[in-house]
Amino acid sequence: MALRPYRRKAQFYETDGMGIIYHGNYIHWMEEARLDMLEQLGWPYEKVRAAGLDFGVTETACRHLGMVRFGDTVEIVMTMPHLSPARLELGYTIADAATGEVRAEGRTGHFFWDMERQRPVALKRAEPALYALLAELAGEERRGGDPWTGRK
């Protein structure tokens, strides 16, 4: 299964007083990339919510390595360092789409939430089809493949 990287053009309103993208926007972009991944898997966020599930956030981190400015386009490639029935960790590499220069690296941690019962849930039990898709992506990475490019 090959997924495409998430592409995002930096907008003027995302800049700060120095004319560069405000650091908090990188976290927003990582969230957008995660939702894009779900959509590519055939599980857009609306479908996840309709199934009575959500993704709780346990942590976010972002290391800034270079500046993104207004008008730049970035590509966000994701990895899945950890998947269990109850938890998910995603990694993000944010690179300039034209040069490939890495501008930031980040990660987010998540747990799966049963909206009806208002408690954490094992995704493997609650929605086996979605869990299987995520496990397939994680498995491709562990075997040395890149699900975002299809390369081995």
Active site (catalytic) residues: 16
Virtual torsion, Cα 10, 15, 20, 21, nearest 10 deg: -50
Does residue 137 come out as left (phi exceeding 0), alpha (psi in the -120 to 50 range) or beta? alpha
Per DSSP, the residues of 86-126 read: SEEEEEEEEEETTT--EEEEEEEEEEEEETTTTEE--HHHH
Which has the closest alpha carbon to 38: 23, 19, 54?
54
Q: Which region holds residue 40: left if phi is over 0, alpha if psi is between -120 and 50, else beta?
A: alpha
